[in-house]
Amino acid sequence: MSRFTAVPGSKTSLQVVTVGSHSGLEALTTAQGKAVFIAGAGCVGLAQALAFLDLGYTVILHDPKALTPWQAESTDLKVFAVNHVNADFLNKIGGWEKIAALRVNPYNQLSLHVGDQEQTTLFTAEEVNLEQLGYMVENAALVQGLLQACQAYGDKFVFLNQIEVTDAQLKYLGGSFSIGNNYAPDSKDLYWQITFSTGLVLNTNLVIAADGANSYWRQKAKIALDIHSYPTRCMMMLVDTDPEVTQAYAHLTWQQVDQDGPKAWLPVNASQGVLCWYDQIPTINALSKLSPEQLKQKVLTNYPLEKIGTNFTIRQVGSFPLARQRAKHYWQNKVLLLGDAAHTVSPLAGQGLNLGLQDVQCLTRLFADPSFRDLHALALVYASERFVDNSLMQEFLSVLHHAYISRSPLAKAFRENMYRVSGITSVKHYALNYANGDRSLLRGFSEIGQNVLALLGKK
């Protein structure tokens, strides 16, 4: 087995050492400078794979699990609100057309109603000069659409699906290296040697880890994690509704916050949508044991009936634990974290996947920037830019989560006065643009930092 030699002058280096039972990998048996390895074929990993393909890279994408297939006749319960900035980005890299051909629903209004208050805070696309704020999309549609777009690149896209990593070792170009708990001293000469159950062995100086909240690669790279579990679960119910009632809400996503926690509506179309119910863990556990008909009775007494009517059928139910997780570093020991592997948030404001797609946008922009010659410098800029943005959102959503769920008088006062703050037009517009992916302010700060790096010759 020959020793791995990084491609000189290139940010990335990837080499297939042993092909194993795979065919079509022969071109990669010499080290390649424009090839990357990505772990995880969720929405974030697939979007990153497509973005690299669009930049002219060869991509090896690995996921040990079978992907959930999209089905025309049944809706995936996991429906996400993808903001317009991320949808535009997916369009730019060639993925949106495939996703939209499956099933998407634009939304142009977002409303928030607290308790018995008269005031409803309404955010509209029109007030920030947009056609829509974003799109409701099933997880399965995102995955399938992005996968199809990647597959259109033929041999440049290698998908290692439903096979296992049997060994992964961090090695040193000059000899052997024993990974410690701290950052590796000079990361330039380090690389991962990864062995798969099919006999494939590859060497790479960069593992892009988009392998979800329980990331295997985060653990391999010894990246520590801060975890805050909320004493709350979220139940999602896919419902068929009476279009006469829900037609008016087909492009509006609403949230009703009462003393027992928030209830929300994610419209799939005029006669179908997902009801979200956030509550204490024992309450959601008890609700999960009910039959669809018994659950319907609970919905009838807990949701605003003028918005969903009484004539609806519950088709699917699932519930999810909620936690805020934060990796302490996004780049360590040649592993770079993206998406839920780096951060998870309370889903109250529909930001989790959107943050992951912002990670993808950031990394893609930096890789496309010819002024970066050094992977380490690039990864540090990525890590600092995304850590700040994601952490700010995580903190904000934690405050919001507790304020929405808590029964304390302080939280109640906060909820009841939120409409006053959001009534200030400039604050409302800033919040709306930020939630919808506008990061111009943050980009400005990052660009100042990059100019300083360039002046110091570290770029």
- Contact residue for ligand FAD among 39, 102, 200, 378 (CB under 6 A): 39
Residue 243 · residue 341 · CB < 8 Å: no
Q: Is 320 in the site for ligand FAD (CB under 6 A)?
A: yes
Q: How far is the CB of 287 from ligand FAD (least distance, A)?
A: 14
Which residue's CB is nearer to ligand FAD, number 295 or number 353? 353
Q: How far is CA 421 from CA 398, 407, 417, in A?
A: 18, 21, 7
- Contact residue for ligand FAD among 17, 35, 50, 81 (CB under 6 A): 81
Residue 168 · residue 192 · CB < 8 Å: yes
Q: How far is CA 354 from CA 10, 62, 181, 191, 436, in A?
A: 30, 22, 31, 30, 8
- Contact residue for ligand FAD among 75, 246, 256, 354 (CB under 6 A): 354
Residue 383: both structure tokens together = 């890590």
Residue 428: both structure tokens together = 């409302």
Q: Is 340 in the site for ligand FAD (CB under 6 A)?
A: yes
Per-residue binding letters, 179-198, with ligand FAD (x by CB under 6 A): --------------------
Using CA atoms of 199, 13, 49, 236 in order, give the dihedral in degrees to the nearest 10. Answer: 70
The count of other CB atoms within 10 Å of the CB of residue 299 is: 19
Stretch that binds ligand FAD, among 56-64, 178-186, 361-369, 411-419 (CB under 6 A): 56-64
How big is the site for ligand FAD, counted in residues (CB under 6 A)?
29
- Contact residue for ligand FAD among 44, 221, 257, 336 (CB under 6 A): 44
Question: How large is the angle between the packed helices 352-368 and 43-54, nearest 10 degrees?
Answer: 20
Q: How far is CA 152 from CA 45, 58, 149, 158, in A?
A: 17, 13, 5, 11
Residue 62 · residue 48 · CB < 8 Å: no
Which residue's CB is nearer to ligand FAD, number 172 or number 320? 320
Residue 261 · residue 232 · CB < 8 Å: yes
Which residue's CB is nearer to ligand FAD, number 222 or number 459? 222
Which residue's CB is nearer to ligand FAD, number 211 or number 385? 211
For residue 269, what are the β-bridge partners? 272
Which residue's CB is nearer to ligand FAD, number 173 or number 323? 323
Stretch that binds ligand FAD, among 40-48, 169-177, 221-229, 238-246 (CB under 6 A): 40-48
Stretch that binds ligand FAD, among 353-361, 395-403, 426-434, 451-459 (CB under 6 A): 353-361
Which residue's CB is nearer to ligand FAD, number 332 or number 450? 332
Residue 87: both structure tokens together = 């949808």
Question: What is the edge-to-edge ordering of all strands in the sheet holding 79-83?
Answer: 79-83, 134-138, 104-107
Q: DSSP 3-state assignment of 51?
A: helix
Using CA atoms of 197, 204, 179, 390 in order, give the dihedral in degrees to the nearest 10. Answer: -100
Residue 33 · residue 7 · CB < 8 Å: yes
Shortest-Cβ-distance residue relative to ligand FAD: 42
Question: How large is the angle between the packed helices 375-405 and 440-455, nearest 10 degrees?
Answer: 150
Residue 70 DSSP class = P
Per-residue binding letters, 227-256, with ligand FAD (x by CB under 6 A): -------x-x--------------------
Stretch that binds ligand FAD, among 113-121, 179-187, 339-347, 410-418 (CB under 6 A): 339-347
- Contact residue for ligand FAD among 353, 366, 377, 405 (CB under 6 A): 353
Which residue's CB is nearer to ligand FAD, number 287 or number 377? 287
- Contact residue for ligand FAD among 95, 212, 261, 437 (CB under 6 A): 212
Stretch that binds ligand FAD, among 109-117, 204-212, 293-301, 383-391 (CB under 6 A): 204-212
Q: Is 45 in the site for ligand FAD (CB under 6 A)?
A: yes
Q: How far is the CB of 351 from ligand FAD (least distance, A)?
A: 6
Which residue's CB is nearer to ligand FAD, number 372 or number 389? 389
Residues found near ligand FAD in the complex (CB under 6 A) = 39-45, 62-65, 80-81, 210-212, 216, 234, 236, 320, 339-340, 347, 350-354, 356
